[in-house]
């Protein structure tokens, strides 16, 4: 299936997503904030050997580095510019508007979420991302 990086500071959300995603056959890596995600992605500090995931599920409100700042940094880096992201957050329309211009944001899901709907959305995004570009 897919390699998915989940970036969220809530342990309950990380555990739930790990359970849902691994049940579908995905491989899951977790980061508690944007800075941890940059390290895992090999962006800061630079690590060319770091493997990129097929998809990132990203919370917005986190300590150290929030999701919006992380996404901005990802868009500025050539290796992660096109990494598909599903924003998963408790924040409403105002935060959603911040991500509207981000070409890499495939979807915006508000917490609390329906696990079945999220599972189907993840499957759709992963399938689109894994299709070869003509």
Tens of pLDDT, residue by residue over 2-16, are: 999 999 999 999 999
Give backbone dihedrals phi and psi of 7, rounded to 5 degrees, phi first: -115, 105
Q: Which of 77, 96, 97 is nearest to 88 (CA)?
A: 96
pLDDT at 102: 75
What is the average pLDDT across 116-125? 93
pLDDT exceeding 90 applies to what percent of the chain?
A: 70
Q: What predicted TM-score, i.e. pTM, was given to this entire model?
A: 0.91
pLDDT at 110: 87
Q: Has domain 3-130 been given CATH number 3.90.79.10? A: no
Cβ contacts of 108 within 8 Å, gap of 6 or more: 86, 87, 89, 96, 99
């Amino acid at each position: 299936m897919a390699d998915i990086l989940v970036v969220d500071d809530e342990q309950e959300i990380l555990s739930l997503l790990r359970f849902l995603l691994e049940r579908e056959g995905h491989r899951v890596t977790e980061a508690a904030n944007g800075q941890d995600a940059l390290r895992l992605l090999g962006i800061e500090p630079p690590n060319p050997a770091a493997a990129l995931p097929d998809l990132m599920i990203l919370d917005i409100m986190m300590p150290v580095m929030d999701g919006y700042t992380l996404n901005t940094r990802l868009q500025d880096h050539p290796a992660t510019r096109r990494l598909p992201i599903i924003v998963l957050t408790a924040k409403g329309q105002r935060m959603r508007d911040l991500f509207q211009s981000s070409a890499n944001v495939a979807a915006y899901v508000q917490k609390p979420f329906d696990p079945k709907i999220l599972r189907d959305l993840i499957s759709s995004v992963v399938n689109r991302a894994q299709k070869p570009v003509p």
